[in-house]
Amino acid sequence: MGNFHLEFGRFHLDLGSRACIMGVLNVTPDSFSDGGRFDTYETAVAQGMRLAEQGADILDIGGESTRPFSKPVSEQEEIDRVIPVIQTLAGKISIPISIDTVKSGVAKAALDAGAAMINDISAFEQDSAMADLAAGYQAPVVLMHMKGTPETMQVNPDYDDLMQEITGYLAARAAFAVSRGIPGQHIILDPGIGFGKTVHHNLVLINSLEKLQALGFPLLMGPSRKSFIQNILNKNSPDKIKKDPEKIEIGTLAAVGACLSAGAHIVRVHDVARAVTFARVFDAIRNA
């Protein structure tokens, strides 16, 4: 697995020998895994502080749900949800804040409020102005593969060659980003676990990360609390497991370990405390 050094503003991240933990903060009433828990200013700020204290290396804040079959919200609503939270947290925590959005207007407001990175699940396809914005602000970007949109992506996703399609797509989107002035060392790629993929697709994807490593960019994986974990547990249990948070967190850690073993540099998780504990032991064994 290649090592990368990411420098931007007052932040720097060494990616490779040490697993980088991105903590998720959904300021939404309807996210897939924690909808409504942190949808007020007070609860969101408290959770952001908590994730930073637990050892997150990056805090990823989003104001629009991307769960399967979700509908988009307006730019203004998204801004109203996330900007007050970012403004407050940027002055209280020492780790970089990433804005999880597909809208350049939201991203600009977030960067002006103190965010330092952009996480775009559409890889600049929904709003090409996002690339110029990132270049102008010298902000690192996460470019993700998704088949369809959150509203349509889980309707019978099909691939002729899963890894060839994902690799080709991400290579093209990275080339587009570079063509718009984003330096290659500011690009992170995410193959999009759960975004237009079946359970089998997700498992093959994790096992085939070396094909994406060949592109020469850091890799981010987001397996946390995804439905494929629940589906695996249901399939292998005599009794259908209701949404058991404890079992899903254990399953998430198994997926995190598989992703790191396969070459992921950054893992995006909801339960930062567990992931940090897991990752530090994993790192020690890997680097011995």
CB 26 within 8 A of CB 65: yes
Question: Distance of CA 69 to CAs 31, 32, 72, 157, Å?
Answer: 11, 10, 10, 13
Question: Distance of CA 182 to CAs 90, 122, 130, 167, 195, Å?
Answer: 23, 16, 11, 19, 25
List pLDDT tens digits, range 208-236: 999 999 999 999 999 999 999 999 998 86
> Which DSSP category does 143 fall into?
E
Structure token digits, residue 107: 């991203």
Average model confidence (pLDDT) for the chain? Answer: 92
List pLDDT tens digits, range 23-42: 999 998 754 455 456 678 99
User: Band of the pLDDT at 68, cuts 50, 70, 90?
Assistant: confident
pLDDT for residue 264 is more than 70 = yes
The helix, strand and coil proportions of the chain, stated in percent and rounded to the nearest 5, come to 45, 15, 40
- What's the pLDDT score for residue 4? 97
> If phi over 0 gives left and psi between -120 and 50 gives alpha, with beta otherwise, what is residue 18?
beta
Domain ranges of the chain: 15-287
Strand 4-8 and strand 11-15: the pairing is antiparallel
**3-class SS of residue 288:** coil
Q: Which residue has the tokens 């200013």?
A: 41
- What's the pLDDT score for residue 239? 60
pLDDT for residue 273 is more than 80 = yes
pLDDT for residue 9 is more than 80 = yes
In residues, how long is the chain? 288
Amino acid identity of residue 239, one-letter, is D
List pLDDT tens digits, range 91-108: 999 999 999 999 999 999
> Cα(215)–Cα(209) distance, rounded to whole angstroms?
11
Angle among Cα 263, 223, 264 to the nearest 5 degrees reads: 10
CB 27 within 8 A of CB 39: yes
**3-class SS of residue 33:** coil
Q: Across residues 63-88, what is the average pLDDT?
A: 89
Q: Across residues 184-203, what is the average pLDDT?
A: 96
Active site residue 240: no
Structure token digits, residue 152: 């349509």
**What CATH code would you report for 15-287?**
3.20.20.20
pTM: 0.93
> Cα(272)–Cα(288) distance, rounded to whole angstroms?
24
CB 106 within 8 A of CB 82: yes
CB 170 within 8 A of CB 189: yes
User: Band of the pLDDT at 138, cuts 50, 70, 90?
Assistant: very high
1-15, 68-82, 173-187: which is most confident:
173-187
> Cα(107)–Cα(109) distance, rounded to whole angstroms?
5
**3-class SS of residue 146:** coil
Phi, psi dihedral angles at 235 (to 5 degrees): -65, -35
> Cα(86)–Cα(90) distance, rounded to whole angstroms?
6
Helical H segments across 65-161, by residue range: 75-90, 104-113, 129-137
Of the candidates 268, 274, 280, 286, the residue annotated as catalytic is 268
Of the candidates 226, 235, 242, 247, the residue annotated as catalytic is 226
Q: In this predicted model, which residue has the larger pLDDT, 115 or 28?
A: 115
Active site residue 81: no
Amino acid identity of residue 58, one-letter, is I
